[in-house]
Structures are given as C-alpha cells and as structure tokens.
Amino acid sequence: MLNTLNAVFPIRYTVMGLSVFALLLSVFSLLVFGAGLATFLLAAILVGVGVYDLRQTKRSILRNYPIIGHLRFMLEFVRPEIRQYFIESDNEATPFSRSQRSLVYQRAKGEPDKRPFGTQLDVHAEGYEWVNHSVAPTKIASHDFRITIGEGTAQPYSASVFNISAMSFGALSANAIPGVKQGRQTRQLCARHGRGLHLSPPPRARR
C-alpha cells in the first residue's frame, strides 16, 4: 500500500504537502472568519522554505526531503551536546571523561575538588591502575627511573622512562626553550622534536 501511495504522491514530500494544505486552510480561515493570521504566517514560512529546498542544488537531502531535511542538520549541530549531557557516562574518556574535565574546572576556579566516600571508577575493571601502601617500601637504586635498552647486545644503553614529548618550540617563549633543553640535558632525557628545527630556538628566542 505504501508503494502505491508513494507512486501517487512521494512520501518524502509529506511535510511539504501538509504545509501547503495548512497555508490554503489558513487563507480560507482569514477570508471567511478573519482569524488564523499566525497559522498563515507560519505556513507561509514553511512553504517558502520548502520551495527553496526544492530549487537549491547544494544539498541533496534538502532537495529530496524539503523542510523536514533541516531536522537532520539541526540534530547534527546539537549532537555533541546531546552526547555530552545525555549519553556519555561520567567516566567515558573520549579523550577525557566528564569527571576529569570537572576536576580541571574545579581546580581552575579554586573550588574544592575532593570527593569523599570512595570512587565512581570500577576498581575491578581490566587496566585499572593503583598504588599500594607499604610499611616497608622498596629501596630504589636510582631516582632517575632509568631502564636498560638492548641488554645483551653489543651496545646497550640506558634511557629514562620520563621524557619530553613533541611540542611546537616555535610557540614557546625565549625563556621556556632554554629551560626545557637544560632540564633535558641535566636529566639526560630523550626529546621528540617532531617537525622542523624544534631543538633549535627560533630566531626571536636566540640570544
């Protein structure tokens, strides 16, 4: 039955047809009863939008589904807010969870960030990490937290587990670049410079 109806009048034009019907009905109401101005204006706007959608050639969705096709773009516009406020859980990190963002907001405003009585995290979930208390802590041989890479090879070397990640040195100040490089040399850290001459201060930062 739907196929027969669709052959007579395409279902995708239903909203457009209803808008035209509402426009004609409001015109009749204005002429006969002198009422229905608000309905006339609303229907006229919808019909105008529908005619524009049918004539435009940039978006096929609006051309195939006049008027109602705008709902798709409206939902796409508010999709991040709908996901954040109604779908996403407090601990779903994509890339940062709502709990992590709230912690940053509270600390930035100087508000208390402590949450008593346990945690909302699943402490039994796979990948959950924690630090155990100990009355007899292990003595660490070195405070540098270095590991040996290539042990048993001809040229093994030692590297720190704390290193400097990639950053745009061009966006740092003249004092920040020497400070980062001095810290790296002092602790013998690795630095990933990524692109360009990040290990060399830009002309404005050179002394």
Assess if residue 7 is contained within a domain: yes
Using a cut of 0.85, tell me whether the model's pTM lies above it: no
Assess if residue 77 is contained within a domain: yes
Assess if residue 193 is contained within a domain: yes
Assess if residue 140 is contained within a domain: no
Phi, psi of 191, rounded to the nearest 5 degrees: -135, 130
Looking at the structure, tell me whether residues 59 and 40 fall in a common domain.
yes
Res 203: pLDDT: 54
Given a cut of 70, whether residue 204 has pLDDT beyond it is no
Q: Give the range among 9-13, 18-22, 138-142, 158-162 with minimum mean pLDDT.
A: 138-142
SS (H, E, C) 56-115: CCCCHHHHHCCCCCHHHHHHHHHHHHHHHHHHCCCCCCCCCCHHHHHHHHHHHCCCCCCC
Q: Give the range among 76-80, 121-125, 196-200 with minimum mean pLDDT.
A: 196-200
Looking up tokens 């909302």 gives 120
Q: Give the range among 52-66, 100-114, 127-141 with minimum mean pLDDT.
A: 127-141
Looking at the structure, tell me whether residues 62 and 77 fall in a common domain.
no
Looking at the structure, tell me whether residues 57 and 75 fall in a common domain.
no
Looking at the structure, tell me whether residues 53 and 2 fall in a common domain.
yes
Given a cut of 80, whether residue 198 has pLDDT beyond it is no
Looking at the structure, tell me whether residues 55 and 78 fall in a common domain.
no
Q: Of 66, 91, 120, which one is at a domain's C-terminal end?
A: 66
How many domains does one find in the chain?
Answer: 3
pLDDT tens-digit readout, 62-115: 999 999 999 999 999 999 889 888 888 888 877 888 888 888 999 899 988 887
Assess if residue 114 is contained within a domain: no
Looking at the structure, tell me whether residues 76 and 38 fall in a common domain.
no
Assess if residue 94 is contained within a domain: yes
Assess if residue 126 is contained within a domain: no
Give the tokens for residue 187. Answer: 């602790």
Domain span at residue 172 reads 147-206
Looking at the structure, tell me whether residues 179 and 196 fall in a common domain.
yes
Please, are residues 14 and 28 in contact by the beta-carbon 8 Å criterion?
A: no
